[in-house]
A = this chain, B = another copy of it.
C-alpha cells in the first residue's frame, strides 16, 4: 500500500533539485512521468558510468517512466498539454523565464488544467533582483553565507562538499507539493509553488539566523567545537577521534566519573556549568585529550555507551555505508537495471509502518516509456513512428 497512489506527476526537471523531489513522490507511489529532451536529462552525462549509464542519474530517477518530447515543436507541446490534463502535479526547474518562452508556464498550463499544482524550482526564485539568473548549488552556498561559514578565516573558501542546497530545495518542493495536494484532496484549488535554492538554503539554518539577529555574531567554522555547549565535539584518541555529546550537567558528571575517571573535574570551578565549560573550551579539550589519547576510539565508544552518553566514531564515507547500523536499517538497496545490471541505491529514509516507500523500478533509459505513454494516449504505432521521424519524440 502506498500513500500517494493515484497521484500523477509530470516531471520536466533535470539535474538534482527536481529529480530528487519527484523520485521521492515516486517512492510513495505516485505515477511520475519524466519528460526529457531528445538527448535526455543533462544529469545522464555525469560520471561515473556503468555500461554507459550514469550512476548519479540512476541514483535519483528510480520509480519514474521516461518519455522524450521536443517541447520546441508544436506537436511536442500539444502532447505535453494532453499529459497535463491528466496530471495533479507538474514540476519544472528551468531557468526562470524559459517555461514562459516555451509557452508552458503556469498561466498557460492552468488554462488546460486549473487544478494543477505547478511547482517551479530555481536558484533564486521567480521574483527579486536575481530572478533571471541561473543558479546552481554552489552559487546558493555562496549567496546564503553557508560557504563562508564553512571556510577557515583568511584561507581559500571551502564549499560544503555535498549538494545541500539542491537537496534542501528538493525537500522544500516536496513538502510544499504534499501540502498543496492535501488542500486539493479536501476540495481546494490548484496553485503555483515558487521554490528556490537560496530560500530553502536559508530555511535550513533557523537557529544560526536567530542567534545572528540577536547578537550580530557571524558564525564561523570552528573544527568540531560548538560555542554553545561542551563537551560536545570530537576529541583525539590513540588511533583517531571520538565524538562526545555530554554537555548537559547530568551527562558531564557521568562523563567525569564513568568514562574518564576524573571525578574531581566536577568540582573544578572552570568547568562547573555549561557556560563555564564553554568559556574554558580549549583547556577542557586539552585535559580531556590527555586522557583519551591513551586508548583507541573503539574503547571510548564502549565506555560512553556503557555510561549512556552519546558517543561515536568519525566514519569515512565507505565505513558509513557498511556500518552495521546502516545495514540493519536497510538503507542500501539493490536494483536490476536493464542496461547497467545490478546497481545500488540509498533507500528511502522514511521508515513508515503502514505505507512504506517502495522501489518499483530502476531509473529509466532515455525515452524508455515513450511508446507506452503515447499508446495510453491512444496513438497508433504508425503515428508514433511519424512522431519519431519528425524528431518530436
Query: Using a CB–CB distance below 8 Å, which chain A residues touch chain B?
Result: 1, 3-4, 6, 16, 20, 24, 28, 42, 46-50, 55-56, 58-60, 123-125, 127-130, 133-136, 138-139, 141-151, 156-164, 167, 171-172, 174-176, 178-183, 185-186, 188-196, 198-200, 202-216, 218-224, 226, 228, 232-234, 236, 241, 243, 245, 248, 305, 308-321, 323-326, 328-329, 331, 343-355
Can you name 20 A-B residue pairings with CB atoms under 8 Å?
A47-B211, A123-B310, A125-B329, A129-B324, A129-B325, A129-B328, A138-B234, A138-B245, A139-B245, A144-B320, A145-B315, A148-B314, A156-B236, A159-B233, A191-B352, A192-B353, A192-B354, A203-B349, A210-B344, A213-B321
Q: How far is the CB of A143 from chain B (nearest CB, A)?
A: 6
Task: Point out the residues of chain B lying under 8 angstroms from A179, CB to CB.
Answer: 3-4, 28, 178, 350, 352, 355
A191, closest chain B residue (CB): B354
Asked if B164 and A164 sit within 8 Å, CB to CB, the answer is: yes
Q: In whole angstroms, what is the CA distance A214 to B128 when docked?
A: 41
Q: In whole angstroms, what is the CA distance A219 to B139 when docked?
A: 20
A245, closest chain B residue (CB): B136
List 16 additional A-B contacts (Cβ < 8 Å) besides A156-B234, A190-B354, A213-B321.
A3-B183, A28-B179, A49-B214, A56-B210, A56-B211, A148-B317, A151-B314, A157-B234, A161-B220, A175-B175, A176-B351, A179-B350, A180-B352, A181-B182, A199-B349, A218-B318
Task: Point out the residues of chain B lying under 8 angstroms from A157, CB to CB.
Answer: 223-224, 234, 241, 314
A161 and B150 contact, Cβ closer than 8 Å, known pairs A128-B324, A181-B182: yes
A215, closest chain B residue (CB): B48
Of the candidates B49, B142, B329, the one whose C-beta lies within 8 Å of that of A199 is B329
| Majority-rule SS of A interface residues | mixed
A174, closest chain B residue (CB): B175
Q: How far is the CB of A116 from chain B (nearest CB, A)?
A: 11
Asked if A209 and B161 sit within 8 Å, CB to CB, the answer is: no
Q: In whole angstroms, what is the CA distance A303 to B345 when docked?
A: 40
Asked if B50 and A226 sit within 8 Å, CB to CB, the answer is: no
Q: In whole angstroms, what is the CA distance A123 to B56 when docked?
A: 27
Task: Point out the residues of chain B lying under 8 angstroms from A220, CB to CB.
Answer: 161
Asked if A136 and B349 sit within 8 Å, CB to CB, the answer is: no
A310 and B202 contact, Cβ closer than 8 Å, known pairs A175-B171, A210-B59: no
Asked if B3 and A210 sit within 8 Å, CB to CB, the answer is: no
Asked if A355 and B20 sit within 8 Å, CB to CB, the answer is: no
Asked if A350 and B145 sit within 8 Å, CB to CB, the answer is: no
A310 and B56 contact, Cβ closer than 8 Å, known pairs A3-B180, A182-B4: no
Task: Point out the residues of chain B lying under 8 angstroms from A215, CB to CB.
Answer: 48
Task: Point out the residues of chain B lying under 8 angstroms from A232, CB to CB.
Answer: 136, 138
Task: Point out the residues of chain B lying under 8 angstroms from A321, CB to CB.
Answer: 145, 202, 209, 212-213
A-B complex: 9 closest residue pairs judged by Cβ atoms: A191-B354, A128-B328, A59-B210, A145-B317, A145-B320, A203-B349, A3-B179, A178-B178, A199-B349
Asked if B162 and A210 sit within 8 Å, CB to CB, the answer is: no
Task: Point out the residues of chain B lying under 8 angstroms from A345, CB to CB.
Answer: 206, 209-210
Q: In whole angstroms, what is the CA distance A231 to B37 when docked?
A: 24
